[in-house]
Structure 1
């Protein structure tokens, strides 16, 4: 038996991922509600509203844990960013229930020029900064998980697959060709010598067949008289999908 998680565990993980994939919108709404409740907990003043520190701690752990598990399944990068964010959120919410001692933050206050006059004020600033940074990191992880295109540059180059996806692939369509009663020949037989020398670069070449651009395999069959290869205007080389990532025109 191959090493790894037991089959029932793997099946449960796959089932959970499928369920989350079908309910992404619901999870996004739930995450927004959780963030709102965490913000409410952050605003509560322990001195004005005496709540149990253990109760607040357990509630915060449950909420940030929900956030993490609804984002972590989307990948390692959003999971890592979200993990840092939820730790900051939890700390920001629970720290006010454990006030600093007399020596707390003493190294952060070397003199009066720091602008903070007491450890309590320093703790308040730290809590606010932790909470805002945690919210920002969780929001970033949600964007990466659910809408990564929002982070792409406007003039970002298209991926190779998307550049050629608009062209249909020619599958030696004998039925279509037969309708025109035209003989079929190999695509390479219609090319120039310099084209055949460079065929190792191409997975498909771009050719106009009966007036419609198609992606054609170099060794595929095409109509002899109705096929015209599309070339780059500057170099005159064939255009097509590269066989290797670094070699395509």
Structure 2
């Protein structure tokens, strides 16, 4: 749903997956995006000010489309760009780096809101208090996170990934690696007995180019990253509302699973 990085500078940004051999360094994951998604079989009321309930301040902007049952609230809070989106049967909260002015300094482009685990802890504390005030019945909840780690080269990006990916033998002969796997996690809080626990592992390169048209583009900088996408959610097949008292516990379990992945790698 959310892109790795967006930037407009009369030029273009290209991403590519690269190849490398592997060692076992520690991965300094940073939080590129933190998102919680709540699903209902009842329409979310767009008149609710979810932003203020979560953060205690008014949003910078709020756009309503009543005929579509859509509301979008946006604001800057503690160095993060916060978006709350309401569609009839889904409510999303997203924290990401704030929008930035165009720049030719590729190293100065802010790609995270801070270290992944500490930022996730702050995010989870806010969400767990806030979700208790939501009256709309929920049939499903999910955490969606994007973590990135700067690398000096494409080789180092693959070295970083190799430290976490356990069920895949990565070869220097590989190219365009995108590895996605769902290792279900058990839970006694759900009658279904499990969470979906998806991780996606990639190496990506950011090329910053500038120019007035494609024929005059000049490459001005490059950065390499290892990237981890996490999507931990309750089963989509469920139709009955989750017990309201269980929702904070479910989300707390989900957040802890995400912390474990960031700290210990693929849960193979």
Q: TM-score range by the shorter chain?
A: under 0.3
| TM-score normalised to structure 2 length | 0.24
Bigger proportion of residues as helix? 1
Bigger proportion of residues as strand? 2
Q: Which has the larger radius of gyration?
A: 1
| TM-score normalised to structure 1 length | 0.25
